[in-house]
Structure 1
Amino acid sequence: MVLLKFAKEWIGTIAIAFVLSMIIGIFVIQPYKVDGHSMDPTLRDGQRLFVSKLSHTFSYYPNYGDIVIIDSRVDRNRSFMDDVKDNPIFQLFHNTTDRVFYVKRVIGKPGDVLELRDHEVYRNGEKLDEPYIQEAMELSTEESWTVPDGHIFVMGDNRNHSEDSRAIGFIPLDHVIGKKVM
């Protein structure tokens, strides 16, 4: 009888811990691992970081220069179940290798006109000061974009080796999973 009571207490404690970790991971903060070199030299391949998910939870825009995690599948809508499946606790029990998350820097917000010219990025006619860039951006042609409502424009710091908004397009606000905090 004592053993049964002890087991029930432990099962209850583990269940509460599981639910709390899911809630925290879905709505507040989540760990991520950098995969690739698109953010060199700022972030290294394999580096671990924590991401605040409050901007995703409350649907507000990140600031210029913020490093964000995005869901690169911009051609589909995200749902609450995507947030549940993205949680590391859920991933312990399910194979979610179809997820494609990128770590990028916010360059443009709605209404911004972004231009690539002379190997530099211009926002609304002003050249961006980007001390985190180590080499000149290779350009085959000069390009220009106007960021639509409800979207952002992101780029990797390693501009010559980054699949970002130049390739995948504008990022819907609900595809911004969170902002790097550590």
Structure 2
Amino acid sequence: MKVWKEIRGWLFSIGIAFILSLFIGIFVIQPYKVDGHSMDPTLHDRQRIYAEKWSHTLGNVPDYGDIVIIDSRVDRSRTFMDDIKEHPIIAMLTGESKQEIFFVKRLIGKPGDKIEIKEGKVYRNGQLLNEPYIKEQMVIGPDQVYNVPADHVFVMGDNRNNSKDSRMIGYIPLDHVMGIKGFFK
């Protein structure tokens, strides 16, 4: 009987640790891996970062210039079950890797903003952005104008000439902003 009581105590502790880990990963902080060179020189391919998730949990709009993790599947709605299935422990247990759907980008536009790309430079609401973080000036192409709709944001990579971002995939629904890169490395 004493052995069974000891085993039960350990199982209870492991269960609490598992539930706590899920809670922290879904609502507080979660690790992500940068995949590719779209955020060079700020972040590098395969670099691990930690995102604070309480902004996503509370539905807050990140600040201009924040590095955000987004779900690139903008053509579908997200549910709470997505957050659970995408938790690293659950993904490991089910054998599913969803890493390739998460993009790490910089927030350029909030709901209601007008983003213009002219002569390789980015303007927000008519103001030229000071972007010391970009790798190099964008290759000059045709001028582009984006009007960010309500409940969406506009994101771009720091390596503008090598980034799949809002210019290609469209506006990002706020519920697809999974987290903001935290102060942790």
CA RMSD of aligned residues (A): 0.9
C-alpha distance in structure 1 between counterparts of 2:135 and 2:36, whole Å: 17
Show CA shifts across 1:78-124 (max 9, x none). Answer: 00000001111111201323550000000000111000011100001
> How many pairs does the alignment contain?
182
| Structure 2 counterpart of 1:151, one-letter code | H
Give the residue type in structure 2 aligned to 1:180: K
1:168: which partner in 2?
Answer: 169
Q: 1:98 and 1:9 mapped to 2: Cα distance?
A: 34
What are structure 1's unaligned runs of at least 5 residues?
none
- Bigger CA drift: 98-107 or 161-170? 98-107
> Gaps spanning 5+ residues in structure 2: where?
none
Structure 1 length normalisation: TM-score? Answer: 0.97
In 1, the alpha carbon distance for the partners of 2:147 and 2:95 equals 37
2:15 partner amino acid? A
TM-score where L is the length of structure 2: 0.96
Q: Is the 8 A contact 2:119 2:141 kept in 1?
A: no
Q: SS in structure 2 opposite 1:65? A: coil
Q: Partner amino acid for 1:9? A: G
Q: Secondary structure at the match of 1:63?
A: coil
Question: Identity over aligned residues, as a percent?
Answer: 58
For residues 11-160 of structure 1, what are the structure 2 equivalents within 5 Å?
11-98=11-98, 100-160=101-161
How far did 1:169 drift?
Answer: 0.2
27-36 or 70-79, which moves further after superposition? 27-36
